[in-house]
Structure 1
Amino acid sequence: MATKRISITAEMGPSFAIKSDIRGHNVVIDQPTAGGGTDLGPTPLEYFLFSLAGCVGSIARIAAAQQKLDLRGMRVVVEGDLNPAGLLGKPSDDRVGFQTIEISAEIDADMSDEAKQAFLDEVCARCPLHDNIHYTTVVVHELSAAGCIA
């Protein structure tokens, strides 16, 4: 089985801002000023939902090209519900992450509603991020022996 490793490195200094250079694209994650951040970028949760929307759109473009469909455009809305108590360190019976995530798509193509739904179902089945969220994925975390960041 062929595999492809995708890797990013992110760095955080004395503030909430977390920065990364991903293939020459400078991205920033931050918190709103009301949450103690400087609002330099979206929150991790917003990026997470955006990543899912982006993956769905990217796979839709690939699938449309493979199927020779004229996909003129697509609007993807991703919404998630969570109880913030756990991530704030407060007691909660809920999981820390999203309890539900909903994807809604408008597809601009000459297809029936049934065909659009089947296309969206196929796209979501092929989307790696959808797969990671829908099914159990092993996540390993460890402390790096690299030492302190200067």
Structure 2
Amino acid sequence: MAMKSISVTAYLGTAYTIEADIRGHRAIIDQPQAGGGSDLGPSPLELFLFSLAGCIGSIARIAATQQRIALRGMRISVEGDLNPAGLLGKPSEDRVGFQTITIAAEIDADLSDDAKLKFLDEVCARCPLHDNIHYETALRHSMLEADCTV
């Protein structure tokens, strides 16, 4: 199967608010007021965890449909632990990113507890974001050409 590219372009103005138009959906990332932002949206870290929960939920719906499981709903809780010192530019022995990410799910379906756990394991194995976090992914960064007509 051919690779599929997915892209997002975001814009940072003079404050902490970052905005993007994603397929016609306006997305906003901001910092809480206590962190200097305007609290117009979730922080990047909150949105990252939400994206993981959303991916797990989406894959669960696909898998349930494929397996003819009557999935009435799911509650997906994702929690990440990190030391904020590094992102604030302070010395730290810890990595900058999350040290641990914990996923807990409540599955509303007519399955035994063992079957629900097996289903969650399969869903996580099929989730691209879970995969990107669990395994090393090549990550590159570069500068864009300046567009003076903005």
TM-score band w.r.t. shorter chain? over 0.9
Tell me which stretches of 4 or more aligned residues in structure 1 moved more than 4 Å: 147-150
State the 1:100 CA deviation: 0.2
CA distance in 1, matches of 2:18, 2:148: 16
Match of 2:5 in 1: 5
Verify: 1:105 aligned to 2:105, yes or no. Answer: yes
CA distance in 2, matches of 1:122, 1:20: 32
Q: Specify every segment of 5 or more residues in structure 2 that has no aligned partner in the other structure, as ranges.
A: none
CA distance in 2, matches of 1:146, 1:14: 17
How has the CA–CA distance of structure 1 residues 114 and 36 changed in structure 2, closer, same or farther, with 3 Å as cutoff?
Answer: same
Paired residue secondary structure (2:86): coil
Match of 1:28 in 2: 28
Match of 1:76 in 2: 76
Q: TM-score, normalised by structure 2?
A: 0.97
Paired residue secondary structure (1:87): helix
Q: Specify every segment of 5 or more residues in structure 1 that has no aligned partner in the other structure, as ranges.
A: none
Match of 2:18 in 1: 18
State the 1:145 CA deviation: 1.8
What does the per-residue CA deviation read over 1:113-142, in whole Å, with 9 as the maximum and x for residues that have no partner?
000000000000000000000000010000
Q: TM-score, normalised by structure 1?
A: 0.97
Match of 2:92 in 1: 92
How has the CA–CA distance of structure 1 residues 19 and 126 changed in structure 2, closer, same or farther, with 3 Å as cutoff?
Answer: same
Equivalences, count = 150
Verify: 1:62 aligned to 2:33, yes or no. Answer: no
Farther-moved stretch of structure 1 (66-75 vs 139-148): 139-148
